[in-house]
């Protein structure tokens, strides 16, 4: 397997999914800060935006987790 094909398959590997999950979890920190600031400023619109963004982050994490479970032992980089 060439290095190029391994690089293309990285996103569908367990390692790639873990990196994507970490990136999404890091986005949750930004959402938390946005919620905290919106509450402090009593800004309902920004609070709503933060909640919707938070829901997107949670959904993304759930999808990545599902893909990780589906991958099982069929890891592209190991295979």
What distance in Å separates the CA atoms of residue 23 and residue 19, rounded to the nearest whole number? Answer: 6
Mean pLDDT of the chain: 84
Q: Smallest Cα–Cα separation from 13: which of 75, 78, 79?
A: 75
Contact in structure between 75 and 1 (CB atoms under 8 Å): no
pTM score: 0.71
Note the pLDDT tens digit of each residue in 35-76. Answer: 999 999 999 999 999 999 999 999 999 999 998 888 875 555
pLDDT at 79: 46
């Amino acid at each position: 397997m060439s290095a190029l094909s391994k690089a293309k398959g990285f996103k569908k590997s367990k390692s790639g999914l873990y990196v994507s999950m970490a990136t999404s979890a890091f986005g949750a920190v930004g959402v938390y800060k946005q919620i905290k600031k919106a509450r402090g400023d009593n800004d309902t619109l920004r609070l709503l935006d933060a909640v919707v963004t938070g829901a997107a982050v949670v959904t993304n994490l759930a999808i990545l987790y599902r893909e990780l479970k589906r991958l099982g032992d069929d890891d592209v980089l190991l295979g």
